[in-house]
């Protein structure tokens, strides 16, 4: 029997629906790679990056279509409770990275090389990066600094490990700066930062984080390089943004620089929930009949 026009229309619609949903599924679950980030920059699509340090949060964040998950050495602050990022060790970073990698199906996972594991010589830097890649299964490493660590960065990249740079406020050097204030406001430091961003691109970094610098300077850097720049407190003329997960979720309350946008007040919600739990226990309200065996 010949198909009616309405049947033909239905078949065409089902066909397009199938193509549309499978395309969306492929887009949602396709692994983000360093190459994807460059494509995103070239297509003017902004890159989203957030930190994570454990399996449970990494799994939730990965389901939120974040592009890059950074296992940041900010774990030293928000997980271990240290004042700075200086004390965290390579073993501790690998422990966090392993848990994150197990949870992540889509995002690119980048891991910070901690203080003291790459600055002194390129051989040590490569050894540290290899340990992170082999023991955690992460996809790339991040190092803080410019020309002073160029040999370390080059050696790691030549061994086939993708490297993300980090310029501006580099928290591992906090004792050199003395404060967490905005960096590169003066001309000399600004020029040095521009040269470092160009150098990191030349030696093969796939992206660089710019932390806490004037937005005009970030814009200038952007006009000089072709690789993606990810900002944190560097304005909106860069190719993407990164935040520490605990700040975005409002788990931290005392750290309040202007670049943080808190999307939740999770700290208060947790306090309220735990208070209700305590009160239910005291009032013999928990467990109830349905919650017992």
Q: What is the smallest separation between the CB atom of 161 and ligand KIV, expressed in angstroms?
A: 18
Site stretch for ligand KIV (CB under 6 A), options 12-20, 68-76, 254-262, 265-273: 68-76
190 contacts ligand KIV (rule: CB under 6 A): no
**Shortest Cβ 288–ligand KIV spacing (Å):** 42
From 32, 57, 62, 72, residue interacting with ligand KIV (rule: CB under 6 A): 72
By CB neighbour count within 10 A (0-12 exposed, 13-18 middle, 19+ buried), where does 8 fall?
A: exposed
> Tokens standing for 5?
């026009």
The piece of 11-19, 33-41, 67-75, 100-108 that touches ligand KIV (CB under 6 A) is: 67-75
Residues in the chain: 293
Active site residue 201: no
Give the nearest residue (CB) to ligand KIV: 72
108-112 vs 163-168, strand pairing mode: unpaired
Of 289, 291, 292, 236, residue with least CA distance to 261: 236
Q: Are 211 and 167 in contact (CB under 8 A)?
A: yes
Of 242, 248, 249, 251, which one interacts with ligand KIV (CB under 6 A)? 242
Contact 141, 163 (CB under 8 A): yes
- In whole angstroms, give the CA distance from residue 169 to residue 56: 29
Q: Considering the complex, state which of residue 258 and residue 282 has its C-beta at the smaller distance from ligand KIV.
A: 258
Rounded to an integer, what distance in angstroms lies between the CA atom of residue 47 and that of residue 232?
A: 12
Question: Which residue in 45, 92, 189, 211 is the catalytic one?
Answer: 211
Q: Give, as ranges, the residues between 104 and 123 that touch ligand KIV (CB under 6 A).
A: 112
In whole angstroms, what separates CA 179 from the centre of its chain? Answer: 23
Q: Which is nearer to ligand KIV, 20 or 180 (CB)?
A: 180
Both structure tokens of 140: 């790339």
Considering only 74, 117, 128, 152, the residue that binds ligand KIV (CB under 6 A) is 74
3-state DSSP percent of the chain in helix, strand and coil, to 5:
50, 15, 40
Which residue among 40, 41, 47, 51 contacts ligand KIV (CB under 6 A)? 51
- Binding residues for ligand KIV (CB under 6 A): 51, 70, 72-74, 112, 209, 211, 232, 242, 244
Active site residues: 211
């Amino acid at each position: 029997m010949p198909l009616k026009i309405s049947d033909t229309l239905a078949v065409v619609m089902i066909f397009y629906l199938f193509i549309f949903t499978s395309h969306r599924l492929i887009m949602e679950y396709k692994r983000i790679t360093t190459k994807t980030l460059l494509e995103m920059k070239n297509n003017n699509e902004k890159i989203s990056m957030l930190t994570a340090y454990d399996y449970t949060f990494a799994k939730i964040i990965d389901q939120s279509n974040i592009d890059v998950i950074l296992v940041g050495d900010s774990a030293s602050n928000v997980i271990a409770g240290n004042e700075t990022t200086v004390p965290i060790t390579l073993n501790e970073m690998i422990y966090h990275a392993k848990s994150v990698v197990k949870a992540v199906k889509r995002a690119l996972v980048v891991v910070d090389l901690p203080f003291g594991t790459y600055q002194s010589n390129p051989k040590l830097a490569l050894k540290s990066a290899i340990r992170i890649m082999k023991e955690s299964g992460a996809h790339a490493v991040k190092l803080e600094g410019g020309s002073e660590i160029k040999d370390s960065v080059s050696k790691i990249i030549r061994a086939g490990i993708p490297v993300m740079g980090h310029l501006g406020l580099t928290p591992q050097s906090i004792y050199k700066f003395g404060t967490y204030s905005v960096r590169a406001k003066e001309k000399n430091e600004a020029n040095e930062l521009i040269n470092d961003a160009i150098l990191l691109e030349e030696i093969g970094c796939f992206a660089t984080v710019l932390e806490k610098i004037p937005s005009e300077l970030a814009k200038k850097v952007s006009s000089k390089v072709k690789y993606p720049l990810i900002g944190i407190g560097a304005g909106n003329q860069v190719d993407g943004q990164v935040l520490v997960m605990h700040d975005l979720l409002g788990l931290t309350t005392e750290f309040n620089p202007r670049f943080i946008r808190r999307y939740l007040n999770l700290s208060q919600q947790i306090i309220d929930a735990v208070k209700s739990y305590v009160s239910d226990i005291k009032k013999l309200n928990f467990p109830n009949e349905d919650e017992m065996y």
